[in-house]
Structure 1
C-alpha cells in the first residue's frame, strides 16, 4: 500500500528510450557494416557467410526494439492495474471502518469496541447472539480485505511471469523461417499486452480438468518448451508415510499406475536445449523405504512393470545433461538399494526382463523436489530373457554443507 507505483511508468519511459537508442544503432549498422555485403563488390563463400551473419546481427537490433517496447507496455499496464486494485483495497478498508471495524496496517480486521458506549459494550458481552453477530461480521470483512490482497498478489505474480516471457527469445523467426540465427537472443515476439502475456501457454483438450483422458499441446514460446501429450489413465494410487524416533527418521512410499501415455517435448530456452519423445502402456508399481540417522542413511526400492514402452531423449541445460533411448515389451522387475553418508550417496539397481528390449541412459541432473544432484547411468539388453544394471551417485549440497559446518564446530569445541 505504500509502494510508489509511479516508478513503473518512470521505468516504462526508460525502456521506450532504450528502444529508440537501439533503433539508432540498427540504422548505423545497416548503413555501414551490413551494407558491405549488399553492394555487389564482394562475392564468394565468405560474402555469403557474412551476409547471413550481418543480417542476423541487424535482426537482433530490431528484436531488441520490439522487446524493449513490449516491456514498456507491460509496465504501463501493470501500473494501471495495480493502481486500480490499490484503490479497491483502500475502498474496502474504508467500507470496513464505516461498518464499525478496525483494519491494521497488516490487514487484520477486528471489531471496533471503542465506538460503543459502556452500556452497548456491556450488552454485547452479555448477549451470545451479539457476540456471534460480531464474529460473523468480522469474518465477512476479513474475507473482503483478504480477497483484495490476494488480487494484488495474483497480479504481482502475473507481471513477473509476463516480464520473464518478454525477456526470453521466442525464436519465431529461427530454424530457417527468417534471419534469426541466435536461439537465446532478443525476443522479436514479445507480447506487450499484460492480460495476454499472463495467460497460460498450454491449451488442453479433454472432458474436464480432472479427466482421465485427453490431449494437451503447448509452445514453444516465451522461453518454454513445446510439448504434445496424449494420455489415458485407468488408475493411479499413492500411499506414503514417515515416523521418527529421536534422530532416526523412517519413511516409505507405495505407488501403482495403470494406463497409456505418449508425449514429446522440444525446445531451446534460456536454460538450454532438450528433446524427448516416449510412449508407454501398461501397469507400473513401486515401493520404497528409507532410514536416516543424522547424516547417515540407506534406502531400498522395488519396482515392477508389465506392458510396452519406447522412448528417446537428449538434454543439455543448466541442471541436466543426459542422453538415453529405450524399447521394451513384456514384464520387468527392479531391485535397488544404496547408502548415504554426509550428503553423498551411492546406489545400484538391477532389473530382470522377460521380453525383448534394449535400454541405455547416461547423464547428471538436479532433482527438482529434493535439490540433490544425481550422476549415473544404466544399460540393459534382452533378446527374450535379460536385464539391466545401473549405478547412481547422489550429492545433496545442503547436507554436505551442514555436515562440514557441524564438523568444524565439533573441531572448534575440541580445541577450545
Structure 2
C-alpha cells in the first residue's frame, strides 16, 4: 500500500544505458584489439590462442549488452505491472471504506455503518425483527470485501515472484558459449510475461510419460565455515573453504510404467578444501579434501522392470588430494588419492533384480596415485562394495570395480516372482479342473 515503485524506472534507465555502453565496448574491442592483432602480421600457435580468447571476450561484451537490456526491460515491465496491481488494491480499500467498511492492516474488512448511527437509531435497529438478518448480511459483505482484497494482494505477490524468477533467469548463464558457464547471459529474455513463468509442473504427463527435472547454476562465490564441536550431535569439528568460479548441475528423468530413463550432469571450476572428524552413534568418520581446477561429470541409467543398465563419465583438470576413513553401522571405507594433471574415467554396469556389478576405467595424464576400499550403504539404502587402485608416473591410469545390492528391489523382485508363481499354479489348477469336468 505504501511502497514507492518509482525508483524502478530510474534503475531501468541506468541498466539500459549500461547495456548500450557494453555494445560500444564490443565494437571498440573488435576494432582496436581483435582486428588489429588479426591483420596477418602475426602468425602461429600463440596468435591462434589469442584470437580464440579475443572472440570469447568480444562475445561476452555482446552478451553483457543483451543481459543488461533484458534487465532494463524486465524492470520497466515490473514497474508497470506492480503499479497497476498496487492501485487495484488501493481502489478496493477505498471502495470498501466508501461503503462504510473498515479495512485493517491485514486486509480484513469489518462493517462500521451501524456504529455511525445515533443512539436512538441503534436502539430501534437492535429491536427490529430483521436485525439478526441485517447483521448476517453485513458480515457476509465484509467477508466478500476481505476475499477480494486478499485476491488483489495475491496478484501483487504473484507478480513480485514472477519478477524474481525473470531476473534470476536473466542473470544466469548456463550455456557453454563465450567463456562458458558463469559469463554474461546472451540469451536473456526481457519480456516479463515470458521470462517470469513458473517452472512446469514436474508431474505433467505426456502420452503416458511422466517427466521430472531440475537445474541450477551459481558463481562466482567465495566463503568458508567452521562448525563444532557439537557434543549433542557427536561432531568434533568440520571446516570448509571455497573460491568458486562457477558451478552448474542438472538432472531429470522420464518414466512410463516399468520403463524409466534418468540422467544428470554437473560441472565445477574453482578451489575448495574441507576437513571433518565426526563421532556419532552411527560410527566414526574422518575426511580431508582439496581441489584446485575444474571437474565435470555426466551419468545416465535405463530401467525396464527388474533389469537396469547405467553409465557414467567423469573428467578432472587440476590438482586434487583426498584422504578418508570411516566405520559405522552403514559400512566401512578407507582411501587416499593425490593427483595433478588431467584425468578422465568411464563407468559401465548393469543390475538385475537389485543385484548389480560395474567397472570403471581411468586414464591419467600427470603424476598421481590412489588406492581405496569402500563398503557401505548410500542415502537410498543400497549397499556398495568398491575396491579401486591407480598409479601414474606421468601417463597411466586406474581401475575400479563396484558391486551393489538393493534390498528393496530384491524384495520387490522376489515378491513379483512369488506372485507370478502363484498365478501359474492357479492356472494349472484351473486347467486340471477343466479337464476333470470334461470326463
Scaled by the length of structure 2, the TM-score of the pair is 0.56
Q: Distance in 2 between matches of 1:37 and 1:84?
A: 53
Structure 2 match to 1:392: none
Matched, 1:196 2:194: yes
CA gap 1:260/1:199 in 2 versus in 1, 3 angstroms: same
Query: Aligned to 1:162, which of 159, 166, 169?
Result: 166
CA gap 1:57/1:359 in 2 versus in 1, 3 angstroms: farther
Deviation of 1:66 after TM superposition, in Å, equals 0.6
Q: 87-96 or 154-163, which moves further after superposition?
A: 87-96
Task: Identify unmatched segments of 5+ residues in structure 2.
Answer: 219-247, 271-294, 316-321, 323-344, 357-374, 389-399, 408-439
Structure 2 match to 1:249: none
Q: Distance in 1 between matches of 2:109 and 2:156?
A: 18
- 2:252 touches 2:264 (CA, 8 Å); kept in 1? yes
- 1:381 touches 1:387 (CA, 8 Å); kept in 2? no
- 1:124 touches 1:131 (CA, 8 Å); kept in 2? no
Length, aligned pairs only? 290
Query: Aligned to 2:142, which of 138, 141, 145?
Result: 138
Q: Distance in 1 between matches of 2:74 and 2:267?
A: 24
Q: Distance in 2 between matches of 1:312 and 1:203?
A: 28
- 2:13 touches 2:72 (CA, 8 Å); kept in 1? yes
Structure 1 match to 2:209: 214
Deviation of 1:214 after TM superposition, in Å, equals 1.9
Q: Distance in 2 between matches of 1:47 and 1:147?
A: 62
Structure 2 match to 1:381: 403
Structure 1 match to 2:369: none
Structure 2 match to 1:32: 32
Query: Which string of whole-angstrom CA distances, capped at 9 and with x for unpartnered residues, describes residues 136-184 of structure 1?
Result: 112111110100111111111110110000001142x72xxxxx23221
Query: Which string of whole-angstrom CA distances, capped at 9 and with x for unpartnered residues, describes residues 376-406 of structure 1?
Result: xx98527xxx789xxxxxxxxxxxxxxxxxx
SS in 1 for 2:298: strand
Query: Aligned to 1:181, which of 164, 179, 182?
Result: 179
SS in 2 for 1:105: coil
- 1:229 touches 1:262 (CA, 8 Å); kept in 2? yes
Deviation of 1:205 after TM superposition, in Å, equals 9.6
Query: Which string of whole-angstrom CA distances, capped at 9 and with x for unpartnered residues, describes residues 95-119 of structure 1?
Result: 2222321112332222214333435
Please show how residues 308-319 of structure 1 align to structure 2 within 5 Å.
308-312=307-311
CA gap 1:59/1:207 in 2 versus in 1, 3 angstroms: closer
Q: 119-128 or 102-111, which moves further after superposition?
A: 119-128
Q: Distance in 1 between matches of 2:120 and 2:376?
A: 77
Matched, 1:76 2:99: no
Q: CA RMSD in A?
A: 4.2
Query: Which string of whole-angstrom CA distances, capped at 9 and with x for unpartnered residues, describes residues 41-86 of structure 1?
Result: 1111111111110010011011101100000000000000001101
Query: Aligned to 2:155, which of 145, 151, 160?
Result: 151
Query: Which string of whole-angstrom CA distances, capped at 9 and with x for unpartnered residues, describes residues 249-281 of structure 1?
Result: xxxxxxxxxx54222334669999663322335
Q: Distance in 2 between matches of 1:93 and 1:194?
A: 27
- 2:16 touches 2:68 (CA, 8 Å); kept in 1? yes
Matched, 1:276 2:277: no
CA gap 1:360/1:74 in 2 versus in 1, 3 angstroms: farther
CA gap 1:313/1:129 in 2 versus in 1, 3 angstroms: farther
Q: 270-279 or 41-50, which moves further after superposition?
A: 270-279
CA gap 1:125/1:33 in 2 versus in 1, 3 angstroms: farther
Deviation of 1:314 after TM superposition, in Å, equals 7.0
CA gap 1:219/1:120 in 2 versus in 1, 3 angstroms: same
Please show how residues 12-411 of structure 1 align to structure 2 within 5 Å.
12-112=12-112, 113-119=114-120, 121-122=122-123, 123=125, 127-171=131-175, 174=177, 180-200=178-198, 202=200, 213-216=208-211, 229-232=253-256, 259-266=258-265, 275-282=298-305, 307-312=306-311, 327-331=350-354, 349=377, 380-381=402-403
- 1:66 touches 1:189 (CA, 8 Å); kept in 2? yes
Query: Which string of whole-angstrom CA distances, capped at 9 and with x for unpartnered residues, describes residues 310-351 of structure 1?
Result: 3345799xxxx9x98753112469xxxxxxxxxxxxx9549x
- 1:202 touches 1:218 (CA, 8 Å); kept in 2? no
CA gap 1:88/1:310 in 2 versus in 1, 3 angstroms: same
CA gap 1:57/1:111 in 2 versus in 1, 3 angstroms: same
- 1:325 touches 1:359 (CA, 8 Å); kept in 2? no
Q: Distance in 1 between matches of 2:191 and 2:210?
A: 28
Scaled by the length of structure 1, the TM-score of the pair is 0.59
- 2:60 touches 2:179 (CA, 8 Å); kept in 1? no
Q: Distance in 2 between matches of 1:108 and 1:116?
A: 22
